[in-house]
Structure formats: C-alpha cells, structure tokens
Amino acid sequence: MPARRVPTSIVSKPTPSKKRQILPRAVRREQLILATMRCIARLGLSSVTLSQVTKEAGLSQGIANLHFAGKEDLLVETLRFVTGEYNRGQVQILEDPAFGLASERLAALVAFQFSRSVTEETKMAVWFAFYGEAKSRPTYKTICAQADARAARLVRQLFADVAQELGRPIDPVMVAEGYIALIDGLWLSLLLAPKKMTRAKAKRVAWTHLNGIFLSL
C-alpha cells in the first residue's frame, strides 16, 4: 500500500535577503529552531552557540533574544520540536479513518518511520545528539521519556489491533518494546553508515521482523 505523506518542516538554509521581513512569532521561532538543528548536526550539541545559530538563520542575536530566553531555552524548544513533529506524524497515521484495517495502519507506520522526512540526516543527528545527553540533563531526559512513552503507547495499541485482526496470540507490550528497539537501531545505522544501511534495506529489516511475529505463529 502506498505510504501517506506526513507534513514536515524543511530543514534548509534560508536564502539571504538584504531587507529582513517582519514575520509572525511562530514563523520566526521555527526559523531559529531549524537553524539550531543544522548547527547541531554540523557542530555537535555541546559546540553550538547562540551566535552560530543566529548567523545560520541570517538573523541578529537580538531577534533570537526576543523569542528565546537564551541558548538552553532554544535547545529545549528544538528538542520539543523534533519529538513533537514525530509524535504528530504517528498520530496522524494511526488515527486516520482512511485506514480501515489495523494492518493497513501498520504498513503506513513503517513507511512513515523510514520516509525521507523522518530519516533526513539532520533530524537523525539532532535526535541522537539530544538522546546522548539525556542521561545527564534532566530536562532533556524528561522530554525524551515523554516522547518515547507516547510513541510506545501508539505502537502497543496498534500491535494489539493487528494481532486481533490476524488472530495471533502475541504480547503487544513485549513485541512493541522489541520493535521500538529495532527501529532505534536501524535509525542509528542510517545515520552512521548510510552507504551500508539504506532506507530501503532498513524497511526490509523491519518487515522481516514484523512478518516473523505476525505471520509465523
């Protein structure tokens, strides 16, 4: 079944303009967040400075200070942006009434998880940069844990629905935990070894795992 396209922001560098436009607050904040993502992907989380972000965005530091309390506030909102975008994409697919069968929603979820919008290099780099810092940063840890919990609930319910639809006696909690761990590992491989692990290959690995669970019982 063809994958449904989930709207996502484009992480691209803005075209310089001699005359700065007056943009709505939400647009300006997103502009700074996207610039932060590019800086994190290029420099690493610990090396990013507010001046680098504003230069990347083509804005003054004064503009950044109008929208964020400081560098840490900007980083926290960047993490919320990335996790929120992914969670909304999941919800949009799994609650879409156009999918009549649970197995159709599962196919759409796998397609989404390995879509260009989700596995774009900058987003993957930002995702893992924050997760790498989460253990020692309570705020990051809380946001990541909340995002993981939301994602896990959706996947557990979906797996329970698929199992009921196919008549398969599985434990959706355990199966979901294993699948989520697999997806995290595949995403990391896509980031670190993109020539060895392509999106198409990662999707095949995911389906091999799922077919082994739902079709071989």
What's the average pLDDT block by block, 10 residues per block, for the chain (217 residues)? 43 51 78 96 93 92 86 96 94 86 94 95 95 93 95 94 90 94 96 95 96 78
Q: Which two tokens stand for residue 101?
A: 């069968």
For the chain, list the domains and their CATH numbers.
Answer: 79-214 (1.10.357.10)
* Token pair 């647009």: residue: 27
- Alpha-carbon distance of 167 to 52, in angstroms, equals 55
Q: What is the pLDDT of residue 65?
A: 82
Nearest to 82 by CA among 121, 17, 33: 33
Q: What is the pLDDT of residue 4?
A: 45
